[in-house]
Amino acid sequence: MQKLTVQDLHIIREKAAKRIALRCNPGKIKVTVHMGDCGIAAGAREVMVSLMNEWNQTDRDDIRIFAGGCIGKCSTEPNVTVEIIGEKAVTYQKVSPDTIRQIFKKHVLMGEIQKDMIMAGN
Amino acid sequence: MLVCGGTGCHSAGSQTLIASLKQEIERQGLSKEIQVVQTGCNGFCAVGPVALVQPEGIFYQQLSVEDVPEIVSEHFLKGKPIERLMYKDPTTKKVIPIMSEIPFFAHQMFWAMRNKGIIDPEQIEDYIGRDGYLGVAKALFEMTPEQIIQEVKVSGIRGRGGAGFPTGLKWEFASKSPGDIKYVVCNADEGDPGAFMDRSILEADPHSVLEGMTIAARAINSHQGYIYCRTEYPLAIHRLTIAIQQARAYGLLGKNILGSGFDFDIEIYEGAGAFVCGEETALMRSIEGKRGMPRPRPPYPVHKGLWEKPTVLNNVETLANIPQIILQGGEWYASVGIGKSRGTKVFAISGDVNNIGLVEIPMGATLRSMIFDIGGGIPNKKKFKAVQLGGPSGGCVPEQYLDTPVDYEAIAQVGAIMGSGGVIVMDEDTCMVDMARFFMDFIQDESCGKCTPCREGTRRLLEILRKICDGHGTTEDLKALEELSYTIKDTALCGLGQTGPNPVLSTLNYFRDEYLAHIYEKRCPAKRCVALLKFEVNPEICTKCGMCFKGCPAEAIIWQKKEVARINKEKCIKCMTCFERCKFGAIF
């Protein structure tokens, strides 16, 4: 293995810090995929996989992804809730592996709520 | 999912649990989303194996392999945390799912143990990700040795091994001591009954100790360090060995550290587990390959230590604090604490207490808060009697002094010592004479035999204590105990002998009535000393429940329904089972 310089040390630190941040700080943005049995049947699993892939491509360490329980709106599933700390939580309905990418890139990363996909009455 | 892999949880089966978790996660197709990490000691050893699920912060306890499929399919897949595996408050019976809200964790402050339960101790990258080795980088490139020493002095940190000598001052003496060859030694020879702070730190965060040692080496210009760790700590040694290899591979130990031109390397020296080798001069003799026996001081190790060279000898916990002191500054560290005791202190709580485990609290917190808020109080609705601080070298603190703050001076004032952090809680069923006898038995066994007061004196003390426990104590014995104790304290060669009589003196001070009951009434108030028990049943208290009858292995109890039990003394083997079975204290 190569001997480190101080710069190398900082590079390793940056890389590892993102990985470890998940274990110790609560993050600023909560994305919950609602995964009751009904949600999973409607495709929540695929949405989760797609979301994880998107998240893995960014270097943001303030985003936390949760698997949540059913919220009781089985007809609009899969449902995904995005909560930026300090703001009102927004729940999206009928999310697909494609639309979750849009939600992630626009709302989670840039803070633009995707109004056309919001759950009715939210 | 962060699964604890400290010694406690390790022996409760966390290894097979981790393997099974990984397998199940793979099987259910979640291996891209859920990572299982083996961490060091989480601290809550009483309810192991424990695990923390992030980002929710859900704490699971007493896990077994059978729980794995449910955790993976219900919690990980469907997002429904499993209530039956969560912590329940022993008094309110309420389920507390989030770790940081459990009282045991909520009252703690993690500085020395800042990485515990977060990093995988066998991955150096994890440690670096938590600002690891940045302290060394700062010490090597941005600070002079004098500035390092100054920063440590400002922090006010004192030796966490128990004696409380200011660390900065020790380093200053060693740096000013003439000589080209100097050593840094880490004392990981933790031997008090009921103490496991150093072991847990080494298991959870070995790199912090290596980094602390490297900074100390830079401060005094040493190029070789030793970690003296008892061979009875196999997991700690295993993780230290891995940590040293990884640090060497990255050039964080060895020649030319981080390209600075500074050389420092560390070797582990395994001790055979003698209590006296925790004493600094004995420890160094042992590293030299000689029999571990102390020598008179001065000369102190900072002037003539290992192989007669100037040596800095620090405890594990002290060294683990150093990287953050350098990184965040001495004033940051000194911002917490009371009087001359700054920062935090790690304690290992055990004995008659609900939450056995490892805790770190700020200096100045009270003993009461440590035992009742964090420790969760005394189990089985028993009353608190006393707490032994500092193991066999310390003293007991009774109820009326429980509001004493955690501070080197305040604890010394009530007749105990801060010690390395062993806290043994005792309930009302503990006989204090018997407790003193237990510790004296330990001390006389561990006495190295070099000086007469300790070798002979502690054995005589033990004889007298045994005599009192056996019911043959006389008035003169009390006087002899005191005289002998003070003589040993004044004349013994090293810390072992000088502090050895402390348990006797502190129990004599606070619980003299128990000694008197043993001597004059031939009675043991806590009903612990077998020789003083009559093994009879008090018919007025006996509820005729028959529990004693069912428990007796010798069939010595005569009992029928609705009849008071009787004990056949010819058959009785004095095993105490009936005492433990009887909830009403009818047997005496």
> Tokens standing for A62?
């303030």
The answer to whether residue B261 neighbours chain A at the CB level (below 8 Å) is no
Per-residue pLDDT tens digits for B123-147: 999 999 999 999 999 999 999 999 9
The answer to whether residue B259 neighbours chain A at the CB level (below 8 Å) is yes
* Predicted pLDDT at A122: 55
Q: Which of B76, B128, B245, B252 to mutate to test the interface with A (most CBs of A within 10 A)?
A: B128
- Residue B386, pLDDT > 70, answer yes
Beta strand pairing status for B384-389 and B422-427?
A: antiparallel
Report percent pLDDT > 70 for chain B: 100
- Residue A26, pLDDT > 80, answer no
Omega cis (within 30) before B298: yes
Average pLDDT over residues B296-311: 93
Give the pLDDT band of residue B253 (cuts 50, 70, 90).
very high
CB A92 within 8 A of CB A104: no
Q: In b/e form, how buried is each residue of B306-331, taking b as 16+ CB within 10 angstroms?
A: beebbbbbbbbbbbbbbbbbbbbebe
Nearest to residue B415, comparing CAs of B401, B405, B436? B401
- Residue B493, pLDDT > 90, answer yes
* Predicted pLDDT at B443: 94
Q: What's this model's pTM, rounded to 2 decimal places?
A: 0.90
Give the gap in angstroms from C-alpha B246 to the nearest C-alpha of chain A: 9
CB A66 within 8 A of CB A100: no
Chain A residues interacting with chain B (CB cutoff of 8 angstroms)? 1-6, 9, 12-13, 15-17, 19-20, 22-24, 26-27, 30, 32-37, 40, 48-49, 52, 64-69
- Residue A121, pLDDT > 80, answer no
Give the gap in angstroms from C-alpha B86 to the nearest C-alpha of chain A: 18
Hey, what amino acid is at B582?
C
Give the gap in angstroms from C-alpha B182 to the nearest C-alpha of chain A: 25
Average pLDDT over residues B464-485: 94
Per-residue pLDDT tens digits for B78-132: 888 898 999 988 778 889 988 888 888 888 989 999 998 889 999 999 999 999 9
Per-residue pLDDT tens digits for B528-549: 898 888 888 998 999 999 899 9
* Predicted pLDDT at B406: 93
Q: What are the angstrom distances between the C-alpha of B406 and each of A14, B141, B242, B402, B410?
A: 37, 36, 35, 10, 7
Contacts of B221 (CB under 8 A, 6+ apart): B145, B175, B182
Subunit contact A24:B252, Cβ cutoff 8 A:
no
* Predicted pLDDT at A1: 61
Average pLDDT over residues B204-231: 95
Please give the mean pLDDT across all residues of chain B: 92
The answer to whether residue B110 neighbours chain A at the CB level (below 8 Å) is no
- Residue A73, pLDDT > 70, answer yes
For residue B320, give the H/E element and its range.
Answer: helix B316-328
Residues of B in contact with A37 (CB under 8 A): 78
Q: What is the spatial distance between Cα A20 and Cα B192, in angstroms, rounded to a whole number?
A: 35
